[in-house]
Structure 1
């Protein structure tokens, strides 16, 4: 679609996997929707941060890489020709349930607006960036690519000596994904206890027993050794002050993301620790007519899994239907019998 839309039924802020599935759910209910994202392409973190990272919590997919998941979601909504406003930052939200105005910045200065009856915020972690380790001279190694916070192409790590630091899912997943191609792979953590799915922990111990991964515990990063941005070794230190230098070509610190809701935090809805509390049965925020799904949404018992975001997308689409069509009752039909509505 070449014409920039000026009004729609549902504005979906965020075109990551949860936002894309929300577009599908809305389209299946014959609700017009527009996908909005500040990035130049759809996919969110799956595209920007880990297109080749295997994801294991998608039903019917034993494993799927981030880029392939996005391609599948794009194929799912292709019949509906959903408009996209990419490289658009939503700066303001005004109006009320059934009649919102979204003020957006496109590019350097262009201001555009969109009228919507309901809003779904699927902004993931909001504005995000890596938590960097406090190491002297870090910038030079970042510039050379010797220190990286995201893995975009696994082939770049073939036959390289890799140090992965961290104790969560990202550290575990990438250690397991790179173990068969690395010349040497170290996994550094401050304690011999990792936060991960039981199956990932089992695979880690198996890889350690096979000599594919060496656990360096309990140690923390302490320094970088090399010249001109070329990494030669990573220095680690234990709780007693003993140090060790690991010969390495690349360091991958996975200490999570620093997140910021950005303008969303100023739209008048309740927020809590860079998330937006919602009512679980509807995914509606404290601002009537505005819904939040995916990692940005919070409620008791919330699981930060993509599959949970998919469920929330369906809940939000059905909950907002009466806002768009107050005069119509929604008669739920299964997709197996309903099929995909004609364009």
Structure 2
């Protein structure tokens, strides 16, 4: 039987909000253990857009997802959190005043509070219903994320989708790919108005081709190497686009996984929390970031950062009962290490 890992706060999720929760708990002298199903820190920033710029992080006019995670990891480093990666939390139980968590790797964590910062829970891409898709996925010809832009240099790329990811990557890849074709079923994109306008301008200059109104219809190749993406209109008119890669951006399917069976108050696959503390309906369990919901909630990383601070302050009395917590600015007290 594996040893029990003792800590003050267990954080589920090593995305940006989870990493900032390590810092906020550390500033209040609370020890943390972080668990994440991915093999690397960063959550969706690492898995979905490591090279994509993020524009709404304070003091960073633009910062790539991977760079944001590196800075957050550096900020949390003084507090020496334990990171248990490549596993997910499956069980929650009580032991007196303590909470016990069990992971898929057999770990047992005993803590005084839990912060769920699991983004939108377990996630996976919505796949297009195309024959032979698994073979092209296995070869990397069909993908649902871009890890490295350089992999598409000189390639013919078809991008399918009408949201921010499709538009952003079309603009990002147009300067390195041999050709970029964007497939969408209607002229209006769901992306931010500014970037949608940039895409229209790029198409007018001949830098990107817009295939509208089309949908994905088929893949042609040897089952691994892609040669052509077949498109079709709702009227059945077909068109073949020569392609080396298909990037399909149809969103993610979200599932909470085992967390959904803990008895938490759920609202459309999200966890309802008290806005002032981020407390859930289970004593000692808190939720922050995209997985948490309350009236007026905005799904922004910066709001998740604020929630991490609120949750840490709400947890402090559980870790240090009877000890008064006097709020101080970090410029006053510094980073309390050692």
The TM-score, its normalising length taken from structure 1, stands at: 0.93
User: By how many angstroms is 1:98 displaced?
Assistant: 4.6
* Unaligned residue ranges in structure 2 (runs of 5+): none
What is the deviation of 1:23?
A: 0.5
2:286 corresponds to 1:287: no
Structure 1 residue 160 displacement after superposition:
0.9
Measured after TM superposition, the shift of residue 97 of structure 1 is: 9.3
Does the residue aligned with 2:143 lie in a helix, a strand or coil?
coil
Go from structure 1 to structure 2 and tell me whether the alpha carbon gap of 1:118 and 1:171 turns closer, same or farther (over 3 Å shift).
same
State the alpha-carbon separation in 1 of the partners of residues 100 and 313 from structure 2: 22
**Residue 253, structure 1, aligned to residue 248, structure 2:** yes
**SS at 1:42 equivalent:** coil
How far, CA to CA, are the matches of 1:31 and 1:5 in structure 2?
Answer: 18
Q: 1:34 and 2:33 equivalent?
A: yes
Is the aligned partner of 1:129 residue 2:124?
yes
Question: What is the DSSP-based 3-state SS (H/G/I as helix, E as strand, rest coil) of the residue aligned with 2:162?
Answer: coil
The answer to whether the aligner puts 1:47 opposite 2:46 as a matched pair is yes
Cα contact 1:96–1:288 (8 A) shared by 2:
no
**1:152 counterpart SS class:** coil
SS at match of 1:88: coil
Question: Equivalents in 2 of 1:231, 1:97: separation in Å?
Answer: 58
Matched, 1:95 2:70: no
How far off its partner does 1:24 sit? 0.5
Residue 318 of structure 1 is matched in structure 2 by 313
Kindly state the Cα deviation for residue 269 of structure 1 after the two structures are TM-superposed: 0.9
Deviation at 1:232, TM superposition (A): 1.7
Indicate if the aligned counterparts of 2:264 and 2:281 stay in contact, CA closer than 8 A.
yes
CA distance in 2, matches of 1:143, 1:8: 40
Does the residue aligned with 2:138 lie in a helix, a strand or coil?
helix
Contact 1:18 1:309 in 2 (8 A): yes
Deviates more, 1:97-106 or 1:259-268: 97-106
In 2, Cα distance between equivalents of 1:178 and 1:282: 42
1:270: Cα distance to partner? Answer: 1.4
Counterparts of 1:320-335 in structure 2, within 5 Å, are 320-335=315-330
Instruction: Give the drift of 1:178.
Output: 0.9
Secondary structure class of the residue paired with 1:129: strand
Q: Which residue of 2 aligns with 1:203?
A: 198
The equivalences for 1:85-234 within 5 A come to: 85-95=84-94, 98-106=97-105, 111-234=106-229
CA contact (8 A) 1:97 1:118 kept: no
Tell me, yes or no, if structure 1 residue 238 matches structure 2 residue 237. Answer: no
Aligned length: 337
In structure 1, runs of 5+ residues without a counterpart are: none
- Distance between the aligned counterparts of 2:231 and 2:299, measured in 1? 31
Secondary structure (helix, strand or coil) at the match of 1:318 reads helix
2:297 paired residue number: 302
Cα deviation for residue 5 of structure 1 reads 6.6
In structure 2, how many angstroms separate the alpha carbons of the residues matched to 1:87 and 1:228?
Answer: 31
Task: Provide the rounded CA distance (Å) in 1 between the counterparts of 2:215 and 2:113.
Answer: 47
CA change 1:5–1:15 in 2 (3 A) is: farther
2:266 is paired with a residue whose SS is coil
Distance (Å, rounded) in 1 between the aligned partners of 2:309 and 2:42: 18
**Does the CA contact (< 8 Å) of 1:97 and 1:290 recur in 2?**
no
| Rounded Cα–Cα distance in structure 2 between residues aligned with 1:230 and 1:64 | 34
**Compared CA separation, residues 38 and 274, structure 1 to 2 (3 A):** same
* Separation (CA, whole Å) in 2 of partners of 1:97 and 1:247: 64
The root-mean-square deviation of aligned C-alpha atoms, in Å, is 1.9
1:21 aligns with 2:44: no
Structure 1 Cα separation of the partners of residues 55 and 103 of structure 2? 35
